[in-house]
Amino acid sequence: MPETLTPKVLIIGAGTGGYPTAIRCGQLGLDTVIVDAGKLGGTCLNVGCIPSKAFIHAAGKFEAVKKAANGGTLGITAGSASIDLAQTVAWKDGIVAKLNGGVGGLLKRAKARHIQGWATFTDAKTCTVQPSDGGEPITITPEHVILATGSQPVELPFLPFGGNVISSEGALQLDRVPERLVVVGGGYIGVELGTAFAKFGSKVTIVEAQERILPLYDKALTDPVRKWLERNGVTLHLGAKARGMDGDALTVETADGQTLKLAADKVMVTVGRRPVTGGFGLEAMGVDMAGPFIKVDDQRRTSMKNVWAVGDVVGEPMLAHKSSAEGEMVAEIIAGRRRTFDPVTIAAVCFTEPEIVAAGLLPADVEGRTDVAVAQFPFSAIGRALSMEAGDDGGFVRILHGKDDHRILGIQAVGSHVSELSGEFAAFMEMGAVLEDVAGTIHVHPTLTEAFHEAALRGLGHAIHI
DSSP 128-197: EEEETTS---EEE--SEEEE---EEE--BTTB-SBTTEE-HHHHTT-SS--SEEEEE--SHHHHHHHHHH
Q: How many CA atoms lie within 13 A of 465 on its CB side?
A: 16
Decide if 203 contacts 179 (C-beta within 8 A). yes
Strand partners, 121: 127
Q: Which of 445, 453, 462, 465 is catalytic?
A: 445
Who's near 317: CB < 8 A, 6+ residues apart?
Answer: 346, 348
What is the distance between the alpha carbons of residues 289 and 298, in angstroms, rounded to a whole number?
15
CB atoms within 10 A of CB 65: 18
Residue among 450, 452, 447, 343 nearest 401 (CA): 452
Residue among 348, 336, 312 nearest 429 (CA): 348
The yes-or-no answer on residue 445 being catalytic is yes
Three-class SS state of 428: helix
Backbone angles phi, psi at 35, to 5 degrees: -125, 135
CB atoms within 10 A of CB 420: 13
Decide if 237 contacts 208 (C-beta within 8 A). yes
Strand partners, 378: 396
CB atoms within 10 A of CB 201: 18
The Cα-based distances of 168 to 183, 225, 268 in angstroms read 10, 20, 6
List residues with catalytic annotation. 445
